[in-house]
Amino acid sequence: MIDLRSDTITKPTPNMLKAMFSAPVGDDVFENDPSVNLLQDKASELFNMQAALFCPSGTMTNQIAIRINTSPQDEVICDQNAHIYLYEGGGMMLNSMVSPKLLTGDKGRLTAEMITAAINPDDIHRPKTRLVALENTMNKGGGAIYDFKEIIKIATVCKKNELKLHMDGARLFNALAESQETPADYGTLFDTISICFSKGLGAPVGSMLIGTKDAINQAKRVRKAMGGGMRQAGYLAAACTYALDHHLDKIKDDHRRAQTLASAIENLSFVSALYPVQTNIIIIALKPDRSPKTFLHQLEKKGLLAIGFGKGLIRLVTHLDFNDDQMEKVIHIFRSLE
């Protein structure tokens, strides 16, 4: 079975497992785990920010970021399809008692102009606009990449209006692989950045929240209260360090395979349209006479797993455990359904 449901399905490589097994560990709640400390230092240096905190998931790093960047009753500006709104179980309402202001970006990407227009006036009837959260790449937008020039403009609007700025960078390394910017360029513009090692980088578990020393000290308290303080977490951190050292370069291969798949699929009779493929996500709009549920079932019978993505859409994601031979098979499977 070829599994393109998500880039989270990858399993550790033998060498990653070796790195995990041989990791020096300690109790990370006492801040005594050398492998966690190494990874946190590596991440904060990479982004040229002061500090970083290792967490079990990207949902947790995002939720902690919302919590420390807001107060109850505040409002968070994000796209209507943002992961923090759509896929985190209503967490911002539960954990931070804030409401979202949902905007409709271009494939999930907001502009400085849209954000400026969405800031509430100072009026006790209105929640206080406090945080802007961007997602790069944008999952629901088909892995769309932000234009960094727009991010600079957005950061300027945030500074001017005293808004905090958070990056949900679960797939930020996919964006970076296709752009000129460095992680440090992002570090200068954002109050907090979340990155995931369990997506394109192929680690089994792990996300990082990166920010100022103050922000990360606050984040430690929130992580503890959420039950996210882990003990000998160094075994996991070692996998993430291994991923940073060995898998960053492989992201481009995922993108190339996504491009090849997209070109082979786009003109098939049952395809109505594809979202532009910029990274490792392919979103296919099926012709109205094809039900996604039936179509996914047909794919599965031929040996391919994909997922439905709402409204006649299905999603495929390329990843580290997907190679050129499998890519040829996937093309063959799609052609056989004409």
Ligand X SMILES: *Cc1c(COP(=O)(O)O)cnc(C)c1O
Helix, coil or strand: residue 255 = helix
Binding mask 79-118 for ligand X (x = CB under 6 A): ----x-----------------------------------
Residue 254 sits in the site that holds ligand X (CB under 6 A): no
| Structural tokens at position 209 | 């929240």
Q: Which residues between 269 and 298 bind ligand X (CB under 6 A)?
A: none
| Helices marked H in 266-304 | 292-301
Is 207 a residue that touches ligand X (CB under 6 A)?
A: yes
Q: Contacts with ligand X in 162-191 (CB under 6 A)? A: 168, 170
Shortest Å, Cβ 206 to ligand X: 9
> Given candidates 44, 59, 129, 192, which one binds ligand X under the rule CB under 6 A?
59
Q: Is 74 in the site for ligand X (CB under 6 A)?
A: no
Tell me: does residue 63 bind ligand X (CB under 6 A): no
- The total of other beta-carbon atoms located within 10 Å of residue 102's CB is 16
d(CA 85, CA 27): 33
Which residue in 145, 196, 219, 314 binds ligand X (CB under 6 A)? 196
- Coil, strand or helix: which one is 139? coil
Q: Cβ of residue 82: shortest distance to ligand X, in angstroms?
A: 8
Q: How far is the CB of 24 from ligand X (least distance, A)?
A: 25
Name residues whose C-beta falls within 8 Å of residue 17's C-beta, 6 or more positions apart in sequence. Answer: none
Name the residue with the smallest CB distance to ligand X: 58
Beta-bridged to residue 135, according to DSSP, are: 168
Could you please report the per-residue DSSP string of 153-167? HHHHHHHHTT-EEEE
Q: How far is the CB of 83 from ligand X (least distance, A)?
A: 3
- Count other C-beta atoms under 10 Å from residue 145's C-beta: 22
Q: Which is nearer to ligand X, 33 or 168 (CB)?
A: 168
Which of these ranges, 64-72, 144-152, 192-200, 280-288, lies near ligand X under the rule CB under 6 A? Answer: 192-200
Q: What is the DSSP letter of 103?
A: E
Q: Could you give the angle at the alpha carbon of 6 between the alpha carbons of 99 and 191, nearest 5°? A: 40
Closest residue by Cα to residue 20 from 318, 232, 308: 232
Nearer of residues 55 and 119 to ligand X, judged by Cβ = 55
CA 99 – CA 85 distance, rounded (Å): 10
Per CB under 6 A, does 135 bind ligand X? yes
Where on the chain is the footprint of ligand X (CB under 6 A)? 57-59, 62, 83, 135, 139, 168, 170, 196, 198-199, 207
